[in-house]
């Protein structure tokens, strides 16, 4: 009978210890209001204009809009920017992008290519930010800029949004192009 009593006491003790300490883990798949889009669009095109003139066109295979006005473009993005005469001046292509509405900042991620059509400059990097308030583009990542005369390489970049005056923060090399190449 004493074995039975020890068994009951031991079982009660184990049950009470386990019942008192209850660890609750967050479900990583649980959707919250902050990370759940309120609308999802396929083959989306957004037009921006000023004084009835087209200033930018954003195309995305998928666009997700959130309650706080943030947007995500997880399946690629293509942006065209136009000058005052309506001529194409700059394009941007990336694997994905995020628009932070509160900070007024776009972040292009993965295989980012910016072309200044009018200046014939091309920028390649893995991540690029555009600050709408300051009208600047910037990155801390490696960059390659191709102009008609040179190929410039480095780490980090700051430029005006038209990509007319880029500055590489840490240049690592320049290759001059000649007509014979």
CATH of domain 36-176: 2.60.450.10
- Return per-residue pLDDT of the chain as tens, 181 residues: 445 444 444 444 444 444 444 444 444 445 555 678 999 999 999 998 988 899 999 999 999 999 999 999 999 999 999 998 989 998 999 999 999 999 999 999 999 999 999 889 999 999 999 998 998 999 999 999 999 998 999 999 999 887 778 899 999 976 766 655 4
Q: Which of 110, 177, 115 is nearest to 148 (CA)?
A: 177
Q: Which of 36, 40, 98 is nearest to 70 (CA)?
A: 98
pLDDT at residue 163 in the model: 78
Cα–Cα–Cα angle for 108, 111, 114, nearest 5°?
65
78/169 Cα distance (integer angstroms): 26
């Amino acid at each position: 009978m004493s074995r039975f009593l020890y068994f009951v006491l031991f079982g009660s003790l184990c049950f009470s210890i386990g019942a008192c300490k209850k660890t609750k883990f967050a479900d990583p798949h649980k959707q919250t209001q902050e990370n759940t889009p309120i609308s999802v669009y396929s083959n989306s095109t957004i037009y921006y204009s000023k004084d009835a003139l087209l200033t930018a066109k954003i195309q995305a295979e998928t666009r997700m809009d959130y309650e706080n006005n943030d947007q995500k473009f997880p399946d690629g993005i293509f942006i065209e920017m136009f000058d005052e005469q309506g001529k194409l001046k700059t394009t941007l292509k990336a694997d994905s992008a995020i628009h932070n509405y509160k900070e007024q900042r776009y972040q292009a991620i993965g295989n980012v290519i910016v072309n200044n059509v009018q200046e014939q400059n091309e920028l390649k990097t893995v991540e690029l930010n555009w600050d709408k308030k300051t009208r600047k583009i910037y990155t801390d990542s490696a960059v390659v800029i191709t102009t008609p005369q040179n190929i410039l390489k480095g780490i980090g970049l700051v430029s005006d949004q038209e990509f007319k005056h880029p500055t590489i923060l840490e240049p690592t090399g320049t290759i001059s192009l000649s007509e014979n190449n």
